[in-house]
Amino acid sequence: MTEIPTFEVNAFVGPGLSGNPAAVCLLDHGLEDEAMLAIAKRHNLSETAFLVAAGPGDDFDYHLRWFTPEVEVDLCGHATLATAHVLFNERGFEGREVRFLSPSGLLSARSEGQLIWLDFPSRKPLAATLPAAVLKAIGGAPKEVLLGQRDYLLVYGDQAEVEALGPDFETLGDHGLLGYIATATGRQVDFVSRCFFPAYGIDEDPVTGSAHCVSGPYWAEKLGRNDIKAHQISPRGGELALRIVDDRTLIGGRAETVRRGEIQV
């Protein structure tokens, strides 16, 4: 029996009880995929991050992977923010920047004041079309449809239209491992979004860092500036600062530890 130090962290927190909870598991060595998926199912959060220290001579600090309760994902923002928060604030990581080797290549997280900034790849979306069944299942017709590497970006006329969406998650989940990002300009921030990932076992994600690798470059181009503020308007909600630099999306947010413990495997 092995005890794994585990933390639950709220990521991209704003005022009140906001943010997206993620579990962070600190491993001495890698686990089989089936074991990590079983642990993610046990946590039953939108994402569980698994961290293993790099070996001598590696040009990064940790290996990092992420699992929903259903599948492994190739990129996750809030669980990476949660992981960096644990390293900086719970485990005494030396230095202001930590580097991760992930399924999406080399990522980094840098501590700057109250924010942790993630350095992620941009996934600039291109014009696309939606199948009629999916368009109906979203619950409202967008004025523009684009597609990033794995997620549709659905652009609406205003924040109220995004708030009013009532998706048919069962139908959306039947159309493959795709996500749906509904977005519009915001009343108090540059843009807002809601994110739906039913095929991944997450009907509506509270706050989705990776989705802003798609929406951030889109809105930076539309607004004509690279520093923008975003708010994910799920029932929990969350706040993100974005900076678009060449082909990278820098995502800033706050995090807080909710609980500490161990799980036995």
3-state DSSP call for residue 68? Answer: coil
> What is the Cβ-side half-sphere exposure of residue 49, based on CA atoms within 13 angstroms?
32
Predicted confidence (pLDDT) per residue in 169-180, tens digit: 999 999 888 999
Per-residue DSSP letter, 40: H
Other CB atoms within 10 A of residue 58 CB:
12
Indicate whether 2 pLDDT > 80.
Answer: yes
Cβ atoms 67, 36 nearer than 8 A: yes
pLDDT at res. 72: 97
Cβ atoms 242, 251 nearer than 8 A: yes
Indicate whether 158 pLDDT > 90.
Answer: yes
3-state DSSP call for residue 109? Answer: strand
Rounded Cα distance between 156 and 202, Å, is 22
pLDDT range class, residue 23, cuts 50, 70, 90:
very high
For this structure, is 144 an active site residue?
Answer: no
Query: Which of 3, 34, 47, 161 is labelled catalytic?
Result: 47
What is the dihedral sign for C-alpha 219, 221, 224, 226?
A: positive
pLDDT at res. 177: 87
Copy the structure tokens of residue 85: 């928060």
Rounded Cα distance between 217 and 226, Å, is 8
Please report which helix (H) or strand (E) contains residue 25, including its range. strand 20-27
Map out the domains of the chain with their CATH numbers. Answer: 3-117+253-264 (3.10.310.10), 126-246 (3.10.310.10)
**Mean pLDDT (whole number) for 43-68:** 96
pLDDT range class, residue 16, cuts 50, 70, 90:
confident
Rounded Cα distance between 20 and 100, Å, is 21
Per-residue DSSP letter, 161: H
Rounded Cα distance between 180 and 168, Å, is 12
Query: Cα torsion at 183, 85, 9, 212 (round to 10°)?
Result: 10
Indicate whether 264 pLDDT > 90.
Answer: no
Predicted confidence (pLDDT) per residue in 186-205, tens digit: 999 999 999 999 999 999 99
pTM as predicted: 0.95
pLDDT at res. 15: 79
Predicted confidence (pLDDT) per residue in 102-152, tens digit: 999 999 999 999 999 999 999 999 999 999 999 999 999 999 999 998 899
Question: Percent of the chain, pLDDT > 70?
Answer: 100
Tell how strand 115-121 and strand 105-112 pair up. antiparallel
Indicate whether 262 pLDDT > 90.
Answer: yes
Cβ atoms 20, 238 nearer than 8 A: yes
pLDDT at res. 142: 97
3-state DSSP call for residue 262? Answer: strand
Mean pLDDT for all residues in the chain: 95
Predicted confidence (pLDDT) per residue in 221-230, tens digit: 999 999 999 9
**Mean pLDDT (whole number) for 32-61:** 96
Cβ atoms 244, 216 nearer than 8 A: yes
pLDDT at res. 176: 87
| DSSP track, 189-246 | SSEEEEEEEGGGTEEEES--TTTHHHHHHHHHHHHT-SEEEEEE-SSS-EEEEEEEET
Indicate whether 1 pLDDT > 80.
Answer: no
